[in-house]
Amino acid sequence: MKAFKKWAHYLWKEWLRPVLPIVLIIVPLRSSIADYNPVPTGSMNPTILEGDLVYVNKIAYDLRVPLTKWRIHRWANPETGDMVVLFSPDDHTRLVKRVIGTPGDIIEMKNNRLRINGKAVRYTKIDGQYLGNLHENQKNAVLATEHLGDSPHAVMALPQITAIRSFGPIRVPEGQYFMMGDNRDNSLDSRYFGFVERDEIIGRVEAVIGSLDIKNKYHPRFDRFFKDID
């Protein structure tokens, strides 16, 4: 017993006590102010790639009590075109998606082309910069720039995949949002799990911190480190 107490005292003094202040700072910071989110899937291709680690601004819309959903103050709401981290209504996993519809909006899609409140969203030819990041099974992807709100961004379609390419029109209920992935034919989003409650939106995605190519032996993608994203 004496030896155990001595070991426990050593563990506390040399390891736990020095680390405790860091934990007490980092955990609340990540919970309510700034966070990171690993991206394991390609649902946001070509904007975000599998293996990206993204920075999440948790005070973009409001300030929460650390480790809770209680809001101290709200100064903004997600806007059309914002890229956000949210909790899935299905299984409460964290997802990265783009805000397509805000409360009261009428959303419609025909053959992968959106209409919002009766107005067709504009699509233009995309720059070839994204092609180099796609894997071999995506080389036949159809890419375009989607001019959604104030956030023009790249979107991708995969004609060989069975997907929901047309729906609506539907109205977004008050206090809820309609989300989609930029990889329009390979994304589990509001077309499948429905609208997302405002309280389930964690924060806004603003940059890629780092990136590993998980399909190529986890080689670093140095060109994506500290990269702002649309």
How do residues 70-110 score in pLDDT, each as one tens digit?
778 888 999 999 999 999 999 999 999 999 999 999 999 99
Which residues does the annotation mark as catalytic?
43, 97
Phi, psi torsion values for 12, nearest 5 degrees: -65, -45
pTM: 0.84
Residues of the chain with CATH 2.10.109.10: 35-228
Give residue 34's pLDDT. Answer: 57
Q: What is the pLDDT of residues 155-171, one digit of tens each?
A: 999 988 899 999 999 99
- Higher confidence at residue 20 or residue 202? 202
Helix (H) or strand (E) holding 7: helix 2-11
For the chain, percent of residues with pLDDT exceeding 90: 56
Model pLDDT, residue 17: 52
User: Is the pLDDT higher at 34 or at 230?
Assistant: 230
| Residue 169 preceded by cis peptide, ω within 30 | yes
**What pLDDT, on a 0 to 100 scale, did the predictor assign at position 229?**
85
Q: Is 94 exposed, middle or buried (0-12, 13-18, 19+ CB in 10 A)?
A: middle
Among 201, 203, 195, 199, smallest CA distance to 101 is for: 195
User: Does domain 35-228 correspond to CATH entry 2.10.109.10?
Assistant: yes
Residue 21 has a pLDDT of 47
Among 2-11, 56-65, 206-215, the range scoring the smallest mean pLDDT is 2-11
Q: Give 120-157 pLDDT, tens digit per residue.
A: 999 998 866 666 666 666 667 889 999 998 889 999 99
